[in-house]
Structure 1
Amino acid sequence: MEIEVGTAAPAGRLPTGKRGRLKAFLLATTMAGLALLANQPAGLAQQATDGGKAGQGDGQAANGMVLDPISVQGVVGGTEGYVATRSAVGTKVETPLIEIPQTISVVTRKELDQRAVQDFAGAVAYSPGIAVVDYPGGPGAPDFSMRGFRDFNLFGIYRDGLRAGFNNYDTNFEPYGLERVDVVKGPSSVLFGQTSPGGVVNLTTKRPTAKPLHEIQLQTGSFDRRQAAFDFGGPVDGDGKVLYRLTGLGRLSDTQVDHAPDDRLYIAPAVTFKPTDKTKMTLLASYQKLKMSGAEQSIPRNALDQIGTDLFFGVPGYSDWKVQNTSVGYEIEHEISPNWTVHQNARYMHSRVNFVSAFSTAWPVEVVDGRYYPVGVQDRPKSTNTYLLDTNVQGKMTTGPVSHTILAGVDYGYYSGKEQRRNSLNALVVDIFNPTYPATDFTYADPWVNGKSNLTQIGAYIQDQLRYENWILTLSGRQDWVVDKEIDNLSSSFQTARDKHFTGRAGIGYVFDNGIAPYASYATSFQPATGTYAPERGGGTFEPTTGTQYEVGVKYQPNGWNSFISASFYHITQQNVTTNDPVFSGYAVQEGEIRSRGIELEGKMELTEEASLIASYAFVDAEITKDNPAVGSTASSVGLRPKGIPRHMASAWGDYTFKSGPLTGLGLGVGARYVGTSKNAGNTETIPDYTLVDAAVRYDLGALRSELEGASVALNVSNLTDKKYYSAGFYDNTVLYGNRRQILATLKYSW
């Protein structure tokens, strides 16, 4: 690593955006979409023959169109039903899942709909090996762990094959705007660059459809929820060379926490142009406006019996997390020859964040005198810009009896963020027995953060998927160059860190004719680490952490059955982890290590035309294997479990739709999720295990009368038994309350 230090000119404060009007915007966009449909050429708004499921693929198709043999990364679209058999994420080339030497779980659009998924945590709730911190009303993008390793600052979340961002507080994700979710387990740096050893999650947004698609949805439910959404798509011209998609959602809602909103506006237009049979271009854009609570909601464990799940540890109407996020991008695919195509995927994203965070001023975090919780606030506005570009060429060739699928490309990422932070000098005292929230005029200290971050990443990668008879060998390699420049306007200085790292993957599998495919693989990863060495050690920033995984498993795609079953065993070691400097107090060195090993089982099956079943189990044995005691202490973390990592997780969801008889049109779903015990950072406290039950009832109103064809109603309940449960908190002696029971009623009309 090379370090540069210099000076920089001061920067100004960030602008503050105007507050939009959610209802007016939603009404305007809805009317615009309806007007667009009304002006389509005759015949284009005809009813889809599959009962309102136009545009959904069949497992071998994406976005309602027949896929080319080679397809751009991350763009495999919706799958009809629960079972996906292909992915373009694990290899950046659309590949049958059974041929990829890595565990990948896919959540389809049908599953998202039938479970009425409302957030990222709900989307992956039935996927093994991933644990999300439930944070009702809380700020920021999801905080989760995979295979025992925490993903944060969006290292592990990708959207349409490109990183979703670089900071947790810049954005969030709207499940209604997604076509599918691919959960890729284990080190994936060889294709995506800097990532956690646990894996990545790719969110594929909805794409233009070749068949007309029209849907309007109204939803209400717990916590005064009011939501409306629409999804329109289809061809614009008679030849089908121009396709469109317009998806929108608006929500005004409270949450289980008093004074904590969950308001959202989302609009996502998309257009696909196919000027020739060899060229296809899709333009993608989205705008999202969010308002949620900015309160930290750290609950002291010794006050759990006194504090209800609705108590707000913030300043009503003041401590909020407000985000406006706009993104525009495109995907281009051009066939150079019958066997070679070039792809380019790009996105620009701008975010404006108005964030007033509320936190406990007591340390350690506690209820003072048995009833008072002192709350301070931090004003932390931020403005960010992100540029992402991925260009690659994909092709097929043969060398004797061996066929090859070649991938070679270069990707580029640039992130620029301005941020200021200042803490209040005074506090609001919340009486936990009488939370009246007296008016408080906060005065602020001078900013303690005022700076800018510039991060640039360039990666060059190459991959070969070799096939000989039933054998598949996958070889991948990548070189990354990362430059991180941190500008401090308070001291008029800057520091530049330069890193470069090589990662690779090798995997081999054999696909038997009966659909059984054993495999083995080796993969590596790297992830930047923050912090500096003691001045006596020369100062300087840390090297990236590195990850190594060995995985063996078997996948089963039985002939004649629409199902996919997988089992895997993995062993991951993360090195260069920061730990206490054994000589210089208050500093850290990179002598730590974490080891995680475990088992994952998953099955997704459509047993009959009426019945579907998904089930999973994960065992995660994560342990700190190297650690230094602090200066003057003999206490080491060796042998302890990392914070918030459950050892056991299991889930099952079953769904049945009556296709004949007096109950025709009725659909029933029920599921259970078990999350085992976990520990706080010091392993001094145990977070109890819990089981949550979910249920769904829906009815196709068209089964009653033909005039109601396309209309349906649904009732979904998450945490049916209203189980009270917790996640590990931000501090060693705190927890976060989980989501209480939520009831959602949905009216949908498709034509």
Structure 2
Amino acid sequence: MSSARQLVVAGGLYLGGCCFSMAFAQGPAVAGSPLTTAALPEMVVTATKTGVDPASVPFTVHSVDATEIQRQPQPYLTNIGELIRDLPGVSVGQVYPLGPPWIQLRGTGYFVGRTIYVVDGLPLLEPIVSTTIHPNDVERIDVVLGPSSALYGPNASGGVVNVITRRGAPGMGATGAIAYGSFDTWRPQASVGGGSGDMDYYLSYSGDISNGYPFNPVSAGIELWDLGQRQYLPSATLTDAAYEKHHVSTSLGWRNAQGASVRLAANYMNADQDAGQPNRTITDDGDQLITSLTAEVPVADTAIVRFRGGYQYFNRPSTNTGGLTLDGARNLVLNSTPTLSGLWGPRTFIPLELQTDLFLGDNNILTGGVFFSHLDDNRSNRSAATGQLLSKSSWKTDNLAFYLQNQTFLLDDRLSLVAGLRHDSWKYYDIFDSGSTNRTPPDVSKHYTTYRGGARFQVNDQLALRGSAGTAFWPGATIWFFQNLSTGMTWREANPNLDPEKTWMVDLGADMQFPTTGAQLGLTAYYGKITDMVSYRYDENPDLPGGSIIRTQNLGGAEIYGLEILGTQPITEHLSFRASLTLNRSRIEDTGTLDGNQLRNAPDYHGSIGFQYLNPTLVNADLRLRFSDSRYYDDENTDLPYFLMDAYETLDLKVWRDWKVAKDLTLTTSLSAINLLDQDYQLELHYVAPGRYLEGQVALHYAF
């Protein structure tokens, strides 16, 4: 196997194979600084799951590494979505502080079913579980754009977001930090990591405690109430909605000189969040856990065998009340009597995968694998007054898949061809729903086959051309199939007849480098279709004033096309420029009255413009202008405030400096300002951005 084939690049930005760093000009850095990352270990390329040079991959792949994450302005909502929102093809919506980041890829809009979230190569139970991972514990995030079910299974219509968690490395040392920000927000942090011989280790704690903000303003609830949307006022925040979350991350790894390795990683979060009303809580002592075990064994020079296995746990208790309403005289009335104790969980998810890479000579890699997962899902509601069980839903889901992929290198490795397919089958069983006429419906089985392929040609040292095509599917959320719920303020109607949603997409791209100026430019055009599109809506409940009913349906489909642009340009030794722009058009079709509507949460344009100044002897600074066109909350394109979320721009800044205190001791001070111009805009429906957020941090790093 040639050395070129063995090369694995970690970190940086892979734009369809052209590798350049999200961190702009790297510049010199103080050794041992918390804002300096040790050399990253080898990784399996997310786009193909094989250990090849990312520059040989025909798919559009971006990566943000730990160095760039630490240099970004520190947001108020700390989650993985904020770390990748500057990438082309990536649009991020947000809800409340403990809510999931809504990561929408390549105009596919609905982020729960059309984006797959992965941690250390294993899929997550669902997007909200990603909040278990704190940004401090992220080594790198890879984003693969375009349908990717052929490698990762359901929900990969727009692509894959793969979070690689931190691990120890020689010289990492120990860090202690404390940050204080707006809304009385405290963020303590401590970590230690290192490596010696064949072993490496990492252990960290990150806290996030805040008095919060009125993320669901009463004024918004009243406005929607007057417009006939009465289901949003009851949950409005009367006072700042305080929250706290505590993260622990650990990793232990071993690798020998022959390339065999084993790694065990665990990430845990405990969280609380009130709802800004007496007796009402969104999360009351909730627990989340993500673990993974990864093993890799080379077999001579002919193969590599990889095993990945994990265990995920999610449990979020909550307490509901009657909340806020308006009486006939338009007086605000609060019913703070606890009515419902909800339990979202316990939910356990076990993914397992065995994969083999066969090196068929110097120019061909054949990858085959089998994937299995088991989900045990439970949800229940009890009377807050008596403890009586009011509703219970539970089910189990097994997913079994087989996949095969081949990558061939021709013309002295200038041409790379990739083709792969995967067959998934899944079974829903042990189904129970107390609200259904038939509480124990029969088992349900489904199956689907997907493919993905592409080609990349390195024309010369300055230009590479690439193209790919692929399909994806989404079976729909299981709760939509089986749960009928008529307790609390949010009811559900089951729809067991939902068909799996299908997506196909093609793209063409070019990666260019300009040696004279140091500029780099990537362009990708894409076109795709969604059929049997799954859609949900919140309808007002006529039997419960202020309540809502969630209903789901299959729509005809959607047409998606657009252009992604990303460029960087060094300006001086210390100053660099970066810009990304996505032009996208996602429109519903073949549905009658909804034809021509914008796909929900799929803005027609979004992007960012940034300057980074890196001068460790003076000061470092990162300035970013981020912008997005307007977007709708629903596929019906309801023309009401908050349902139509207006276009916005936000200006973010971070300034930091490393101070050498002693030979192995570095003090780092930083100041972040998010939304400098204090713009008012919606994150999702009536959830409003908190406004200007300022945070100062002091960190002390000891290198050993």
Give me the whole-angstrom Cα distance separating, in 1, the residues matched to 2:409 and 2:525: 24
Give me the whole-angstrom Cα distance separating, in 1, the residues matched to 2:241 and 2:390: 27
Q: 2:470 matched to 1:523?
A: yes
Give me the whole-angstrom Cα distance separating, in 1, the residues matched to 2:364 and 2:252: 33
Secondary structure of the equivalent of 2:287? strand
- Any conservation in 1 of the 2:619–2:657 contact (CA below 8 Å)? yes
What do the CA deviations read for 1:595-628 (whole angstroms, capped 9, x no partner)? Answer: 1111111234566652343321011201001215
Alignment match, 2:545: none
Offset of residue 499 of structure 1: 1.0
Alignment match, 1:746: 697
Summarize the alignment of residues 79-90 of structure 1 with structure 2, pairs less than 5 Å apart. 88-90=45-47
What do the CA deviations read for 1:461-508 (whole angstroms, capped 9, x no partner)? Answer: 111111102111111111111112362252541342211111001211
Summarize the alignment of residues 34-49 of structure 1 with structure 2, pairs less than 5 Å apart. none
Alignment match, 2:579: 615
Greater mean deviation of Cα atoms: 589-598 or 217-226: 589-598
From 680, 684, 695, the counterpart of 1:724: 680
From 195, 216, 222, the counterpart of 2:176: 216
CA 169–54 in structure 1, closer or farther in 2 if over 3 Å, else same? closer
Give me the whole-angstrom Cα distance separating, in 2, the residues matched to 1:328 and 1:263: 22
CA 675–374 in structure 1, closer or farther in 2 if over 3 Å, else same? farther
- Any conservation in 2 of the 1:54–1:212 contact (CA below 8 Å)? no
Give me the whole-angstrom Cα distance separating, in 2, the residues matched to 1:161 and 1:560: 38
From 498, 502, 517, the counterpart of 1:546: 502
- Any conservation in 1 of the 2:400–2:425 contact (CA below 8 Å)? yes
Give me the whole-angstrom Cα distance separating, in 2, the residues matched to 1:375 and 1:573: 47
Secondary structure of the equivalent of 2:136? helix
- Any conservation in 2 of the 1:599–1:620 contact (CA below 8 Å)? yes
Alignment match, 1:480: 424
CA 579–718 in structure 1, closer or farther in 2 if over 3 Å, else same? closer
CA 445–251 in structure 1, closer or farther in 2 if over 3 Å, else same? closer
CA 588–644 in structure 1, closer or farther in 2 if over 3 Å, else same? closer
Alignment match, 2:126: 166
Give me the whole-angstrom Cα distance separating, in 1, the residues matched to 2:291 and 2:36: 22
RMSD after superposition? 3.1
From 119, 140, 144, the counterpart of 2:103: 144
Read off the aligned partner of 1:221 and give its amino acid letter.
G
What do the CA deviations read for 1:617-647 (whole angstroms, capped 9, x no partner)? Answer: 011201001215xxxxxxx111111223211
Alignment match, 2:626: 673
CA 321–560 in structure 1, closer or farther in 2 if over 3 Å, else same? farther
Give me the whole-angstrom Cα distance separating, in 2, the residues matched to 1:276 and 1:54: 30
- Any conservation in 1 of the 2:167–2:200 contact (CA below 8 Å)? no
CA 321–690 in structure 1, closer or farther in 2 if over 3 Å, else same? farther
Offset of residue 373 of structure 1: 6.3
Read off the aligned partner of 1:107 and give its amino acid letter.
V
Read off the aligned partner of 2:255 and give its amino acid letter.
K
- Any conservation in 1 of the 2:395–2:431 contact (CA below 8 Å)? yes
Read off the aligned partner of 1:449 and give its amino acid letter.
S
- Any conservation in 2 of the 1:207–1:270 contact (CA below 8 Å)? yes
CA 156–452 in structure 1, closer or farther in 2 if over 3 Å, else same? same
Read off the aligned partner of 1:393 and give its amino acid letter.
T
Read off the aligned partner of 1:643 and give its amino acid letter.
R
CA 576–501 in structure 1, closer or farther in 2 if over 3 Å, else same? same
Give me the whole-angstrom Cα distance separating, in 2, the residues matched to 1:278 and 1:518: 33
Give me the whole-angstrom Cα distance separating, in 1, the residues matched to 2:87 and 2:600: 20
Alignment match, 2:610: 653
Give me the whole-angstrom Cα distance separating, in 1, the residues matched to 2:514 and 2:293: 37
Secondary structure of the equivalent of 1:98? helix
Gaps of 5+ in 2: 1-28, 215-238, 483-494, 537-549
Summarize the alignment of residues 99-498 of structure 1 with structure 2, pairs less than 5 Å apart. 99-115=56-72, 116=74, 118-137=78-97, 139-149=98-108, 150-152=110-112, 156-166=116-126, 168=128, 172-236=132-196, 240-257=197-214, 258-274=239-255, 277-293=258-274, 295=275, 312=276, 314-315=277-278, 318-356=281-319, 369-372=329-332, 378-381=340-343, 382-398=345-361, 403-421=363-381, 443=385, 449-469=391-411, 470-485=414-429, 487-490=431-434, 492-498=439-445
From 91, 95, 104, the counterpart of 2:48: 91
Offset of residue 108 of structure 1: 1.6
CA 374–627 in structure 1, closer or farther in 2 if over 3 Å, else same? farther
Greater mean deviation of Cα atoms: 521-530 or 166-175: 166-175
Offset of residue 544 of structure 1: 1.2
Alignment match, 1:689: 647
CA 155–165 in structure 1, closer or farther in 2 if over 3 Å, else same? farther
- Any conservation in 2 of the 1:451–1:486 contact (CA below 8 Å)? no
Secondary structure of the equivalent of 1:458? strand
- Any conservation in 2 of the 1:131–1:144 contact (CA below 8 Å)? yes
Give me the whole-angstrom Cα distance separating, in 1, the residues matched to 2:194 and 2:127: 35
Offset of residue 532 of structure 1: 6.2
Please give the TM-score of this superposition, normalised by the length of structure 1.
0.75
Alignment match, 2:220: none
- Any conservation in 2 of the 1:333–1:343 contact (CA below 8 Å)? yes
Alignment match, 2:668: 712
Offset of residue 141 of structure 1: 2.1
Q: Higher strand share goes to which structure?
A: 2
From 555, 558, 561, the counterpart of 2:511: 555
Offset of residue 550 of structure 1: 1.0
- Any conservation in 2 of the 1:679–1:728 contact (CA below 8 Å)? no
What do the CA deviations read for 1:631-666 (whole angstroms, capped 9, x no partner)? Answer: xxxxx111111223211112022111225xxxx231
Give me the whole-angstrom Cα distance separating, in 2, the residues matched to 1:128 and 1:369: 50
From 648, 654, 658, the counterpart of 1:700: 658
CA 520–706 in structure 1, closer or farther in 2 if over 3 Å, else same? same
- Any conservation in 2 of the 1:397–1:404 contact (CA below 8 Å)? yes
Give me the whole-angstrom Cα distance separating, in 2, the residues matched to 1:331 and 1:558: 40
Alignment match, 2:491: none
CA 155–356 in structure 1, closer or farther in 2 if over 3 Å, else same? farther
Give me the whole-angstrom Cα distance separating, in 1, the residues matched to 2:420 and 2:328: 56
Read off the aligned partner of 1:483 and give its amino acid letter.
K
Offset of residue 158 of structure 1: 0.7
- Any conservation in 1 of the 2:280–2:319 contact (CA below 8 Å)? no
Offset of residue 520 of structure 1: 1.3
Please give the TM-score of this superposition, normalised by the length of structure 2.
0.79
Give me the whole-angstrom Cα distance separating, in 2, the residues matched to 1:572 and 1:496: 33
Equivalenced residues, count:
606
Read off the aligned partner of 1:206 and give its amino acid letter.
R
Read off the aligned partner of 1:566 and give its amino acid letter.
G
Give me the whole-angstrom Cα distance separating, in 2, the residues matched to 1:359 and 1:123: 37
Alignment match, 1:28: none
Read off the aligned partner of 1:688 and give its amino acid letter.
D
Offset of residue 154 of structure 1: 9.1
Read off the aligned partner of 1:453 and give its amino acid letter.
W
CA 616–49 in structure 1, closer or farther in 2 if over 3 Å, else same? closer
What do the CA deviations read for 1:552-592 (whole angstroms, capped 9, x no partner)? Answer: 11123556998753211111211112479xxxxx9976451
Q: 2:521 matched to 1:565?
A: yes
Give me the whole-angstrom Cα distance separating, in 2, the residues matched to 1:367 and 1:557: 65
Read off the aligned partner of 1:637 and give its amino acid letter.
L
Alignment match, 2:226: none
Read off the aligned partner of 1:502 and give its amino acid letter.
T
